[in-house]
């Protein structure tokens, strides 16, 4: 966004104010990146397909009825705040022209599609960079923009990215139990996080050098990057890491435990193990219990685990959590949505807030702004909107289109 150009946001706020981002992706991964930016004050213009929009994600998860007879998903209400929504058919010559007009006024463009899609529409990277040499282009796809020809063009979703990226092989309990995907949509959200940080890194570089660039983000690679030492262990030691459930494997306790009325997790690393022993009435200096810490599958290790599980099982969750934390042992209940809504720490930190959603035409409550900035906090200035809600505002203000031209483009199905 040029320094002399006013933002579309009514009252600028946040650390990213003054940055304009175009988004043409669908579903979750790439649009989640711009949602994070919009919550921190960036001006985000989300382009949806004319007439149909992002139909799947608008209604996919826990849909609720709107006043106009349509339905909107809970996830859409949560993840589409603060964005300006326009419609545009990029495959038409008129749509291409309008898009390049928006590109000229933007700092970042993010998209998610099968490689080659935009080239077919005459919107290859060279054309986009010619329209704005400083723009940062972020391509998000399942397998990347180049690679082995057998993989180019394959479709990918959250589930697929977790499988191909290696996460799913590590999530769940050992064979013969099946691998388990991380939820909800964890692979997509990981990809979105990689998309926003890399796009902002590219933006910083463009501000310094005056030159934009292209980012190639493969979903499976973003997921793969979070596997810690899995690949070093394989290449250097020949180890193939497998599923181990909730246990750490090399020490204890580090697992989920069933209390009399729910579940807790307890984690003790190093000398914290001694504190767990004392809570259980065991002498941490006794050789038997010293051995149990690191020899999880030994007779001593199995006995310690049984004692701890028996102790937890005889008590309600609140008592277990209180006793362990009083002893400075990390312990938490496994929280449900109800638990989180009622928890005093969530409330003290104002994690859940209300905002006005324009699809539902009423106030809604959900997760607020994370993280918290001291000087330039993020915020929610409006909720999700209906398809094409901001067509007039964006096309008139940024491209100076007249009412007659807008009606003409609408009748042609371009917007």
> What is the average pLDDT across 75-83?
95
Identify whether the C-beta of residue 191 lies closer than 8 Å to the C-beta of residue 223.
Answer: yes
pLDDT at 304 over 90: yes
User: Does 378 reside within a domain?
Assistant: yes
Residues 30 and 127 in one domain: yes
Evaluate whether residue 7 is within a structural domain: no
Say yes or no to pLDDT of 3 above 80.
no
Q: With 80 as the cut, is the pLDDT of residue 55 above it?
A: no
Do residues 42 and 82 share a domain?
Answer: yes
What's the pLDDT band for 56 if we cut at 50, 70, 90?
Answer: confident
Instruction: Give a yes or no: residue 15 inside a domain.
Output: no
51 and 169 share one domain = yes
Mean pLDDT for 200-210 is 97
Q: Give the CATH number of the domain where residue 65 resides.
A: 3.40.50.10540
Give the pLDDT score at 345: 97
pLDDT at 381: 97
Tell me, yes or no, whether 407 and 322 share the same domain: no
Lowest mean pLDDT among 26-35, 48-57, 161-170, 173-182: 48-57
Give the active site residues. Answer: 188
Determine what percent of the chain is predicted with pLDDT higher than 90. 91
Please tell me the least confidently modeled range out of 45-59, 101-115, 289-303.
45-59
Q: Are residues 209 and 298 in the same domain?
A: no
- What does the pLDDT look like over 387-413, one tens digit per residue? 999 999 999 999 999 999 999 999 999
Identify whether residues 152 and 39 lie together within a single domain.
Answer: yes
Confidence tier at 69 by pLDDT (50, 70, 90): confident
Residue 27 confidence (pLDDT) = 87
pLDDT of residue 143: 95
Please check whether residues 323 and 405 belong to one and the same domain: no
Look up the CATH number of the domain holding residue 327.
3.30.1540.10
Domain that includes residue 85, residue range: 20-226+351-411
Establish if 2 belongs to a structural domain.
Answer: no
Q: Between 248 and 35, name the one with better pLDDT.
A: 35
Q: Is the per-residue pLDDT at 4 higher than 80?
A: no
pLDDT at 148: 95
Same domain, 195 and 260: no
In this prediction, residue 54 has a pLDDT band, given cuts at 50, 70 and 90, of confident
108, part of any domain: yes
- The pLDDT score that the predictor gives to residue 68 is 79
Q: Quick: pLDDT tens for 336-352.
A: 999 999 999 999 999 99
Residue 343 domain flag: no
User: What pLDDT, on the 0 to 100 scale, is given for residue 138?
Assistant: 98
| 60: confidence class by pLDDT, cuts 50, 70, 90 | confident
**Residue 6 in domain:** no
pLDDT digits (tens, 9 = 90+) for 125-158: 999 999 999 999 999 999 999 999 999 889 899 9
Q: What is the mean pLDDT of residues 70-94?
A: 95
Query: Residue 201 above 80 pLDDT?
Result: yes
Do 285 and 163 have their domain in common? no
User: Is residue 217 over pLDDT 80?
Assistant: yes
Give yes or no for residue 369 having a pLDDT over 90.
yes
57 in any annotated domain:
yes
Confidence band for 23, pLDDT divided at 50, 70 and 90: very high
Domain finish residue from 302, 335, 368: 335
- The 10s digit of each residue's pLDDT in 227-280 is 999 999 999 999 999 998 998 878 999 999 999 999 999 999 999 999 999 999
pTM, two decimals, is 0.93
Q: What is the domain count for the chain?
A: 2
164, 305: one domain: no
Check whether residue 295 and residue 215 sit in a common domain: no
Mean pLDDT of 101-106: 97
């Amino acid at each position: 966004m040029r320094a002399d150009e006013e933002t579309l946001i009514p009252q600028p706020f946040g650390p990213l104010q003054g940055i304009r981002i175009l988004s043409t992706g669908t579903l979750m991964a790439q649009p989640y990146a711009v949602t994070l930016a919009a919550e921190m004050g960036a001006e985000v213009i989300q382009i949806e397909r004319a007439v149909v929009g992002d139909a799947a994600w608008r209604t996919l998860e826990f849909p609720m009825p709107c006043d106009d007879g349509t339905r909107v998903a809970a996830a859409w209400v949560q993840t589409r705040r603060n964005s300006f929504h326009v419609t545009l058919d990029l495959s038409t010559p008129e749509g291409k022209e309008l898009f390049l007009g928006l590109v000229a006024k933007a700092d970042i463009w993010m998209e998610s599609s099968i490689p080659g899609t935009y080239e077919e529409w005459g919107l290859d990277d060279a054309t986009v960079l010619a329209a704005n040499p400083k723009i940062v282009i972020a391509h998000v796809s399942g397998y990347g923009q180049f690679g082995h020809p057998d993989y180019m063009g394959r479709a990918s979703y959250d589930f697929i990215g977790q499988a191909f990226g290696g996460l799913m092989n590590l999530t769940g309990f050992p064979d013969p139990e099946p691998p388990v995907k991380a939820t909800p949509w964890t692979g997509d959200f990981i990809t979105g996080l990689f998309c926003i940080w890399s796009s902002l890194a590219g933006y910083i570089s463009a501000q310094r050098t005056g030159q934009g660039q292209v980012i190639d983000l493969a979903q499976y690679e973003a997921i793969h990057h979070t596997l810690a030492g899995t690949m070093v262990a394989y290449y250097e030691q020949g180890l193939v890491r497998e599923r181990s459930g909730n246990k750490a494997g090399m020490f204890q306790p580090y697992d989920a435990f069933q209390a009399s009325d729910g579940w807790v997790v307890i984690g003790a690393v190093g000398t914290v193990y001694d504190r767990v022993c004392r809570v259980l009435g065991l002498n941490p200096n006794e050789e038997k219990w010293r051995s149990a810490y690191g020899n999880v599958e030994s007779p001593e290790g199995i006995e310690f685990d049984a004692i701890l599980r028996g102790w937890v099982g005889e008590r309600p969750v609140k008592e277990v959590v209180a006793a362990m934390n009083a002893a400075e042992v990390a312990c938490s209940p496994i929280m449900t949505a109800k638990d989180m809504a009622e928890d005093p720490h969530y409330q003290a930190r104002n994690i859940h807030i209300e905002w006005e959603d324009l699809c539902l035409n009423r106030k809604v409550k959900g997760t607020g702004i994370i993280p918290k900035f001291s000087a330039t906090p993020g915020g929610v200035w409006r909720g999700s909107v209906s398809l094409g809600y901001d067509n007039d505002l964006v096309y008139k203000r940024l491209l100076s289109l007249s009412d007659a031209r807008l009606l003409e483009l609408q009748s042609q199905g371009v917007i």
